[in-house]
């Protein structure tokens, strides 16, 4: 997340609060009528059995008092020691949960059959099964996930998972909508948060909507500008990191988790409208970053789905498959880059603290 975007946006938020207004067909024929009847009958029976199972009620309820207690204790300690960090986890948790919910809804509409939808990672605190999917809460509140099978053309499926319900069995349009639903849910949430903040400030409905769209474009432009500046000026950036004297200023700054938590605590203290705008900034930025065409981000999966469709059309061969696993080295590089940005942002924050 870009420091330039966040710092500028934070200033805009406080200015806005001070002024109380602000000036995202069947694909094959049968050989014989008898064979067709037998095949369709068997297929319908299998589909009916699956539909009956997915329409069943809530089952498989499990609760872990031990992990629930540990998590509750951890949250209490965090609230006592660093309430700003807990506020940030709450903001990010809601944003990521809604992001994954966007994937979930779009996947079901595309005919996919998700098997898990959880808030958090690690040991399960509470969970239940409904409609062939397990829902619940896990102990580590660092986002969430939705489990889709068949993300690669040759991956094996566990027992009980149907090929017809996998990601790879869906149409290219279905895959693309599923992938893009997450980031665009975040952007839509940002528009909603900015809009609500404007309404609370007394802005008229039409003007409030226009202002919310302006806020979204501002975050998109600021984030993109900062990322491009980092790529263009990577040598001076790394040079500033390596300067142990602390006198070299990097061409662009990114917000570390500590800085984000501090800002979150400040905006929460400032009131509801400021909190809504900060929530919108975070949600929009997360959506925009996820649209970058870098694996394992959503943008890369979208590019693969679209490229596979184009390749099939050009070659007139629907059997062509693009294997996203070939992008694994780039995925590791992307993750490594994000880790480096986080650590270097912490370095600059610590230097500022020492200098102060």
Per-domain boundaries in the chain: 3-21+59-355
CB atoms within 10 A of CB 326: 11
Q: How many CA atoms lie within 13 A of 38 on its CB side?
A: 4
Q: How confident is the model at residue 9 (pLDDT cuts 50, 70, 90)?
A: very low
pLDDT at 338 > cutoff 60: yes
C-alpha–C-alpha distance, residues 337 and 298, integer Å? 17
pLDDT of residue 55: 53
Q: Which helix (H) or strand (E) holds 139?
A: strand 133-147
pLDDT at 141 > cutoff 90: no
- The CA angle 340-102-275, to the nearest 5 degrees, is 65
- The CA angle 231-233-235, to the nearest 5 degrees, is 105
Three-state secondary-structure class, residue 122: strand
C-alpha–C-alpha distance, residues 150 and 161, integer Å? 10
Mean pLDDT throughout 22-34? 36
234 Cβ contact list (under 8 Å, min separation 6): none
Identify how many contiguous H helices and E strands the chain contains and give both numbers. 11, 3
pLDDT at 13 > cutoff 60: no
C-alpha–C-alpha distance, residues 83 and 132, integer Å? 38
pLDDT of residue 249: 87
Average pLDDT, the chain: 85
Mean pLDDT throughout 5-20? 40
Backbone angles phi, psi at 94, to 5 degrees: -65, -40
* pLDDT tens column, 200-229: 999 999 999 999 999 999 999 999 999 999
What is the chain's length? 356
């Amino acid at each position: 997340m870009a420091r330039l975007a966040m710092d500028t946006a934070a200033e805009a938020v406080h200015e806005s609060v001070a002024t109380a207004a602000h000036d995202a067909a069947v694909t094959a024929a049968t050989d014989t009528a008898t064979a067709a009847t037998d095949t369709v009958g068997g297929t319908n029976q299998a589909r009916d059995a699956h539909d009956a199972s997915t329409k069943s009620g809530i089952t498989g309820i499990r609760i872990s008092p031990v992990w629930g207690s540990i998590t509750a204790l951890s949250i209490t300690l965090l609230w006592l020691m660093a309430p700003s960090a807990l506020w940030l986890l709450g903001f990010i948790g809601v944003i990521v949960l809604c992001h994954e919910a966007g994937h979930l809804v779009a996947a079901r509409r595309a005919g996919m059959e998700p098997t898990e939808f959880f808030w958090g990672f690690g040991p399960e605190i509470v969970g239940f099964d409904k409609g062939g999917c397990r829902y619940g809460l896990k102990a580590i509140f660092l986002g969430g996930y939705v489990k889709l099978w068949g993300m690669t053309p040759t991956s094996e499926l566990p027992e009980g998972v149907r090929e017809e319900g996998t990601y790879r069995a869906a149409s290219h349009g279905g895959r693309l909508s599923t992938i893009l639903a997450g980031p665009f849910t975040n952007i839509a949430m940002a528009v909603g948060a900015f809009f609500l903040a404007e309404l609370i400030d007394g802005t008229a409905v039409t003007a409030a909507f226009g202002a919310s769209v302006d806020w979204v474009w501002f975050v998109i432009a600021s984030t993109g500008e900062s990322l491009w500046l980092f790529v263009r000026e990577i040598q001076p950036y790394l040079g500033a990191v390596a300067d142990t004297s602390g006198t070299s200023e990097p061409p662009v700054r990114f917000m570390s988790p500590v800085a984000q938590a501090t800002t979150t605590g400040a905006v929460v203290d400032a009131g509801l409208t400021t909190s809504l705008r900060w929530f919108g900034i975070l949600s929009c930025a997360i959506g925009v970053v996820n649209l970058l065409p870098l694996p394992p981000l959503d943008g890369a999966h979208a590019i693969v789905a679209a490229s596979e469709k184009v390749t099939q059309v050009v070659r007139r061969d629907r059997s062509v498959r693009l294997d996203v696993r070939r992008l694994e080295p780039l995925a590791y590089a992307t993750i490594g880059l994000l880790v480096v940005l986080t650590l270097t942002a912490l370095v600059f924050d610590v230097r500022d603290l020492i200098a102060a």
